[in-house]
Amino acid sequence: MTAPPQFAVAGRVPSGAAVLGVPVFSDLSVPAGAGATVDRDFLVQRRFEGQPGQAQAVLADDGTTVVALGVGPRNRVSADGLRRAGAALARNAGDATEVATTLLAATRDPDLMAAAVEGIGLGAYRFEGARKVTRSGGLARVVVVGSTRNQERRASVEAAVHRGQVASDATWRARDWVNRPPRDLTPTELARLATEAAAGSGVTIEAWDEERIRAERLGGLLGVAAGSAEPPRLLRLAYEPRRAKTTVALVGKGVTFDSGGLSLKSAAGMMTMKSDMGGAAAVIAAIIAAAKLDLPVRVVGWVAATENMPSGTAIHPGDVLVARNGTSIEVLNTDAEGRLILADALCLAAEEEPDAIVDIATLTGGQRVALGDGVAAVMGTDDALVRRVISAGAAAGEPAWQMPLVGAYRKQLDSEVADLRNVTTKPAASSIMAALFLKEFTAGRAWAHLDIAAPSWSDGDDGWITKGGTGWGTRTLIELLRGWA
């Protein structure tokens, strides 16, 4: 596994920097303190327009490489623009293992500074996996150049760089877990990795085995796990700073591989199903990040982890499961398994009476149909909480759109043999129907549901997003928790 680059703050450009990333506005000017000039005529010839995500390398007389990084109009520099500029620097650093940048000269806003650092870290991501020959290069160190003469300014820069580094590292972790082959990332291994990652962070983790899961009456999780040779796990994570006045529960779907069960997916439909634990990865990584940022909010995480496999012991369409709160569920489609395991996790979260519950899951294909690959769906019982989630996603560059939780549709989940069924017989509004199902297990608490089925995986690089697991939702959750701070 590769490691994320480490960031350092300096008052001037280091003499040994082989690559220097310099911000360039759309009028092809550079901000004061950028540390280098650029040849406007050369940039014009190369059709460089200073737009976010554009990059143009120029070889300087001393042999170093200056990379012009577009950041957009001088008076409209945005977090997304700087995040894209940072990613462009990482992707245009060649084989350099250490680079310097004056990107932060383009803004005085700490949130925008943190976004630039995130972009560099996320753009540098690579997953080598089991490659026989690994790619050369890879950023190991990034020197962020900012004015350090003013102590207040230096403290602001250092805090922003720290925030950006923590958020980037958390997303790296989530991406790594999503990208691992499913036989290497079983529920048991996910529990081990989470425990290892949390060590020394102030986050405590309990990993419930199958015996404990049965004793706790988690019938949805046990039912989905019944077809797999791999035992399930239920993780409880807790970050509990003494000064916290708010408790937020985060719930993540952790299906480490989804075959669809007896309602078997097609071969093509299974190709990316190692990513079906993207919600769990985001929850674990975000809670550890909250601890590293020392946020004054209590966070309790619940992750239900299992495989969904077909076998002689798998649940059948028509079987009835009983969730922790006693609700009986008729399973008409075993490929609608995520909501079954989330039901138990939501019950556990609600029992602790938090101020808010947010679940995140790669839940429905309907989310992609409705919103495409670049926007998550959010629904909930509390409009203020939903607005918080949307605002957090906007700050993280992970947009979410509110879909209606249509109460009149609930009757479509009525079952003749149980309290409700896990799917309807109609193909319409699948994302909404899934959310209505989950609502039954929230005990009336303030709750929001984030469906990241499409944006959790990408077929190619785009800005800060890299091919494969995107880690989507990790930074949204971090920003959400920061909002309570």
Query: What residue ranges do the domains of the chain occupy?
Result: 6-175, 180-484
- Specify the pLDDT at position 346: 98
pLDDT of residue 369: 96
Q: Say what the pLDDT of residue 461 is.
A: 92
The pLDDT, as a whole number, for residue 134 is 62
Range of lowest pLDDT (64-68, 129-133, 291-295): 129-133
Q: Could you tell me how many residues make up the chain? A: 485
Task: Give CA–CA dist 111/156, Å, rounded.
Answer: 10
**Of 265, 368, 387, 467, catalytic:** 265
Mean pLDDT over the full length of the chain: 94
Phi/psi region, residue 28 (left: phi>0; alpha: psi -120 to 50; beta: rest), is left
Q: What is the pLDDT of residue 469?
A: 97
Residue 322: band (very low, low, confident or very high) from pLDDT cuts 50, 70, 90:
very high
Spatial contact of 33 and 102, defined as CB atoms under 8 Å apart: yes
Whose structure tokens read 């925030």? 163
Rounded distance, CA 203 to CA 245, Å? 17
- Out of 146-160, 218-232, 286-300, which region has the weakest mean confidence (pLDDT)? 146-160
User: Any idea of the CA torsion for 453, 454, 458, 463, to the nearest 10 degrees?
Assistant: -110
Set 126, 253, 274, 339: catalytic member: 339
The pTM (predicted TM-score) of the whole model is 0.96
pLDDT at 149: 75
Name the least confident of 13-27, 299-313, 396-410. Answer: 13-27
Compute the half-sphere exposure of residue 87: CA atoms within 13 Å on the CB side of its CA.
Answer: 24
Query: Using CA atoms, how far apart are residues 283 and 146, in angstroms rounded to an integer?
Result: 32
Cα 472 to chain centroid, rounded: 3
Q: What angle do CA 100, 102, 103 make, to 5 degrees?
A: 110
Q: What is the pairing mode between strands 376-380 and 400-402?
A: parallel
Average pLDDT over residues 196-216: 97
Q: What pLDDT is stored for residue 132 in this prediction?
A: 63
User: Is the distance from CB of 395 to CB of 111 less than 8 angstroms?
Assistant: yes
pLDDT in tens, 88-128: 999 998 888 899 999 999 999 999 999 999 999 999 998 87
Q: What is the pLDDT of residue 34?
A: 77
- The CA-based dihedral angle spanning residues 140, 92, 112, 22, taken in that order and rounded to the nearest 10 degrees: 100
pLDDT at 427 over 90: no
144 within 8 A of 98, measured Cβ to Cβ = no
pLDDT at 14 exceeding the cut of 90 = no
1 has pLDDT over 60:
no
| Cα–Cα dist 291/239, whole Å | 6
Instruction: Give yes or no for residue 210 having a pLDDT over 80.
Output: yes
Give me the mean pLDDT over the 181-189 stretch: 97
- 265 is an active site residue: yes
Exposed e or buried b for every residue in 444-462, given b needs 16+ CB within 10 A?
ebbbbbbbbbbbbbbeeee
Band (pLDDT 50/70/90 cuts) for residue 8 is very high
**Lowest model confidence (mean pLDDT) among 115-129, 335-349, 386-400:** 115-129
Please give the share of the chain, as a percent, with pLDDT higher than 70: 97
Asked if 339 is an active-site residue, the reply is yes
Q: Give the pLDDT confidence of 37-84 residue by residue, as tens digits.
A: 788 888 899 999 999 999 999 876 666 789 999 999 999 999 999 999
Q: Which pair of tokens denotes residue 269?
A: 């439909």
Return the CATH number of the domain spanning residue range 6-175.
3.40.220.10
For the cut 90, the answer to whether the pLDDT of residue 470 exceeds it is yes
User: What's domain 180-484's superfamily in CATH?
Assistant: Zn peptidases (3.40.630.10)
Q: Please compute, for residue 340, the number of CA atoms within 13 A of its CA located in the half-sphere on the CB side.
A: 32
Same fold yes or no, 6-175 and 180-484: no
